[in-house]
Structure formats: structure tokens, C-alpha cells
Amino acid sequence: MELHRRTLLALGGIAGLSALLPSCASQLPEPDVTAAGFGQNATGTVRLWCRAATVVAVRQVVDAFNASQDAVSVEVTPVLDGQYVTKLATAIRGGNVPDIVDIDDINSMLFIYRDSFTDLTPLVEQLDFADRLNPGQLGLATRDQRHYGVPYIADNSLLYYNTELFERAGLDPVEHTRDFDGLLEAARAIGALEEGTYGWTIDGNAAGILGFVVQPHLWAADAPNIVGEVGDQRGAIEGNDAVRRTFELYRTMWTEGLMPQSNFSGDGARWGADFRDGRIGLFPSNFSLAALSATPEMRAKTGVVLLPGPDGGRSTFAGGDNLCIPRGAANASAAWQFARFALDLTQQENLPAGGYIPVRSDAATARYRQEFPLAVAPLEEIENAYAPTTLAYNLLFNQQNSPWIAAFRRAVFDGDVDGALAQGQKDFDRILEQAQL
């Protein structure tokens, strides 16, 4: 999962994939991952497809792998994010698949439910750090307790704060980020410091951003907006107290001028620029934009916590990428050898240099904490990482005409919270019904 959540264009979900994939993609042979020596001492070339958005992080690990030995060579093919699902589905249908794919974790399920990926359960269970993997991401590669991929890089939504502004306002940033009352009190105090300073910022016209940073408030309250198992899901919008209170919090901050006016039209193009300029107290975002893109001076006065629920609790969006081996892969053994290398601590510890978070909680070593202090929080609370397992995520959240952005804008900018919840419920139910198996 990346900052700007990708759309599936015309595909939209499992129904769209049906037009590209055979009714049972398992017509392609599944590699025998239990064969003696699988994933060890492999040879040859590994064809790896990655998302264009994550190519820097992928090449970082691929270059290290290729330099570590000379028996296997990994070749990287970046695919534009908006074309990724279509191209992979076409490759599967044609029987000419890459050996391994770096895929947005949210989209993993679209292929898992079409039997397109190899069951890696025995290999995952053999990892001596399996219990330290990001549970939210692993969940997006798991069906019926079988693992069809492994987390690779994480992209978590977090709440960053300006310690200098909190100090000037006489507030404790940890105490005032525990619940909505604290957030609102802090936003008011910081917004009152001087002209041009605001308590909060969000790009309110960017569908993917709103899915990325607003939903964790609900998960922290154990009140998701999608309920039920794939195949029998419905929305939980109307009557969901956490959704109402989240919209009301944003509505209050908007009407009281605690957010910049530019938030109304912000589409993600300059997301976080105001925070990095030192004018914002609280900024829900990710490590890449809030920390890595900031100056050293700004990083020195930045703190971070997970996003809180209305009355407490914390959560983070388990975004990022999974590594999956398609059925029919010509060199699956070497592909797993690379995947295992990518999960080693040496590679994981260095991911923040490319803008991402490790998927292993034990990557928060002393060296890591010293070098990447603003990338520690999601590892310390990795059990709070979550993302919904659904085949309709893109239609519900990523597309610019999705019901989540429509409900948010109607509630926050128009002030019609009741109407937003009622229409949101109808739209969620309609899309989820259409996306069932």
C-alpha cells in the first residue's frame, strides 16, 4: 500500500478479474515448495515484477542480493501501479508469469481468491521469525489459514507531531494524542499560537489518503467499517459510533479553522508540505513524507505515535507490499531464495533509507533505533497494524468517486453527517454485494 492508493481502473475487484483470468487459475502448475532443497542453492534468473512506486526499495534489496552471490540473478521489471493488476492477470491467463511479484498487499487477495499464487505455508512456518511478521500484512496474504505470500515492505499510516509547537502550547504530545478530546484540545491550542499555524492537516480531496489515514481511528476503537468474511460482507457505516465521531472530529476542526483552507482541494500533490514547513501541529501520514522528505532540522523536532481512536487505543494501516510466487513460475525455488534474503534483518533494517518500514518487529535493533527513530513506533506496536480483507477495497476507498471520500467530504465540508452515514451505508453495501464471490 502506497501513499496515494492505486485504483484498479476498469477492473475494480474480483468480478473484473474474471474477464481476464480463467475460472480456475490453478490450471497453471503449482511449484512443490516441500521438495528437498527448495529455496536453497538455486541457480538461474528470477523475473521479478514490482510496482513502479516501490521500485527504489525493491532495487535496493535486489542489488544487495545479486552482489551477495553469483548463482542467481534477479531481473526487475517495474509496472505502472494503475496497470499492475491488469498486466499480471493477463500474464497469468497467457501462462507466462514472472517468478515472483512485489504486489500491493491490498491487491494480493484479488489473485489469492482466483488460485493464482503458490501456497507458501510450509515455507512461512519454517521462518524462525514468523511470529514477528506484520500481522496485518500477512493477513492480506492468508486465506483459510494458508499463506500465499509474505510481507516485504511496510507503509504505515502514523500520526506525526511538531514537538516545538506542542512545547510552545504547553502540551504533552503523548498525552494529547491518546484520544479525540486530546487531539482537539491540542489542535485548538496550536492553532491559536499565531496566524498561519494550524493544529491539523489532511488532503481532503484525495481518496486514497482518506482511506489510509482516517480508517485507523475506527480500527483503534475496534469498529471497522467493513464486517463479515469475504463472500458475505457488508458495510458498517450508519450506526457505527466510531465513524460518526471521526467525521464529527474533522468537521469541528474544519469549521473552527484548525485545518488550512487548502485541505478542501488538496489532492495529494503537495501532501505534507505544510507540516514539513513547520506550520502544522499534527499530521497523519507516513514515514516517507513526514520524516524522510523533511529537512534534518524538521526531523529533529518531529515526534510520532500511532493513530488513536475516539476514546483511546491505537492503530495503523498495514500498508505495503507482499512477495508472492505465481503458479506456473519457471524458477520458483530461486524466487523463494530471494524472498528469504529480502526478509533477513540486514535488508529489513535498511528499508527506511528508501522510505519504507520493516515488516519484522525485531528489526527495531539498537542501530535501527538510533538511525531511524521516527520509524520505530510501527514496529513497537506491530500488533496494531491492520487492513481490511476484502475484494472491493479499490472501489470503496481508492477511486476518486468512491463512497468513503464522498461520505467524508459530505460530513466534514458540507456538514451533513447524518446524510453522509446513510448514503455511505447504501453505497458500501451495494459495492460489497457486487464484489462477492
Average pLDDT for 400-423: 98
Residues 6+ positions from 163 with CB-CB distance below 8 Å: 173, 301, 302, 303
Burial (Cβ within 10 Å: 0-12, 13-18, ≥19) of residue 293: middle
Q: Would you say 380 and 305 are in contact if contact means Cβ atoms under 8 Å apart? A: no
> Given 3.60.20.10, 3.40.50.300, 3.40.190.10, 1.10.10.10, which CATH number is that of 158-317+391-434?
3.40.190.10
Whether 14-156+318-386 shares its CATH topology with 158-317+391-434 is answered yes
What per-residue confidence (pLDDT) applies to 25? Answer: 47
> Which residue type is seen at 318?
A
> If phi over 0 gives left and psi between -120 and 50 gives alpha, with beta otherwise, what is residue 170?
left
0.85 exceeded by the pTM? Answer: yes
Average pLDDT for 164-190: 98
* Residues facing 245 on adjacent strands: none
What per-residue confidence (pLDDT) applies to 244? Answer: 98
* Residues facing 317 on adjacent strands: 386
Average pLDDT for 191-206: 97
Distance CA 432, CA 420 (A): 18
pLDDT digits (tens, 9 = 90+) for 3-52: 333 333 334 445 556 556 654 444 799 999 999 999 999 999 999 999 99
pLDDT digits (tens, 9 = 90+) for 80-123: 988 999 999 999 999 999 999 999 999 999 999 999 999 999 99
Domain 14-156+318-386, architecture per CATH: 3-Layer(aba) Sandwich (3.40)
pLDDT digits (tens, 9 = 90+) for 342-386: 999 999 999 999 999 999 999 999 999 999 999 999 999 999 999
What per-residue confidence (pLDDT) applies to 2? Answer: 39
Picking from 349, 327, 325, 353, the residue whose alpha carbon sits closest to that of residue 339 is: 325
Each domain of the chain, given as residue ranges in start order, spans: 14-156+318-386, 158-317+391-434
